[in-house]
């Protein structure tokens, strides 16, 4: 519950892979290099769930790929985007605009992609299917977690000897047992 409430605080930065929160981008970047080293852009520190997304993202750093037309105009931001639609969605972070709403429940979103994923939940449609065992999920992140836990062989060991399939289980265990 505390972790959930922390996400509502102003100027809190959340790790895009795990449940950690940070006060500064530098703290988040340092965390990413230590905890998620294989899927971090070495140029800007952005974290990705899969290496293929990082490969696509790296193109943004190539000269001429993401020019000033798709650069955030807000001071101290400087983010660049390969697609104009991504920039338009990003601007909502600065303006507070939430132009996308769910047709079923009217919940509002800054980003068209968040609205799309929410609509799957709202409509009870299970669209994300594991290509290895045919289990269905309503959230892309749930499918990703399932694949990591059930099909990758990846394990999260604690120094006490306990081993977990899910990184969140390890984090919870460490907090409960005082291993931090």
Q: How confident is the model at residue 6 (pLDDT cuts 50, 70, 90)?
A: very low
More confident residue, 3 or 38: 38
Q: What is the pLDDT of residues 46-81, one digit of tens each?
A: 767 677 788 877 777 776 665 567 888 888 887 877
Q: Where are the domains of the chain?
A: 1-65, 128-177
Q: Within a 10 A sphere around the Cβ of 68, how many other Cβ atoms?
A: 7
Is the CATH code 3.30.70 the one for domain 128-177? no
Q: What is the pLDDT of residues 77-114, one digit of tens each?
A: 878 777 888 888 889 889 999 998 988 888 898 888 88
Q: What is the pLDDT of residues 119-135, one digit of tens each?
A: 777 776 657 788 888 78
**Residues pairing with 100 in the sheet:** 109
Is the pLDDT at 9 greater than 50, yes or no?
no
Is the pLDDT at 155 greater than 80, yes or no?
yes
């Amino acid at each position: 519950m505390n972790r959930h409430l922390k996400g509502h605080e102003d100027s809190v930065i959340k790790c895009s892979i795990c449940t950690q929160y940070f006060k500064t981008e530098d703290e988040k970047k340092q965390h990413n290099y230590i905890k998620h080293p294989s899927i971090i852009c070495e140029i800007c520190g952005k974290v990705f769930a899969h290496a293929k997304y990082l490969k696509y993202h790296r193109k943004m750093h190539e000269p001429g790929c993401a020019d000033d037309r798709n650069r955030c105009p807000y001071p101290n931001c400087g983010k660049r985007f390969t697609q104009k639609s991504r920039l338009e969605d990003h601007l909502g972070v600065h303006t507070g605009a939430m132009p996308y709403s769910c047709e079923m429940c009217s919940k509002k979103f800054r980003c068209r992609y968040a609205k799309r994923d929410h609509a799957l939940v709202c409509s009870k449609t299970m669209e994300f299917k594991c290509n290895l065992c045919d289990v269905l999920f309503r959230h892309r992140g749930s499918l990703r977690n399932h694949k990591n836990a059930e099909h990758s062989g990846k394990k999260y060991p604690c120094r006490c000897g306990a081993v977990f399939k899910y990184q969140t289980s390890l984090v919870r265990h460490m907090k409960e047992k005082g291993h931090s």
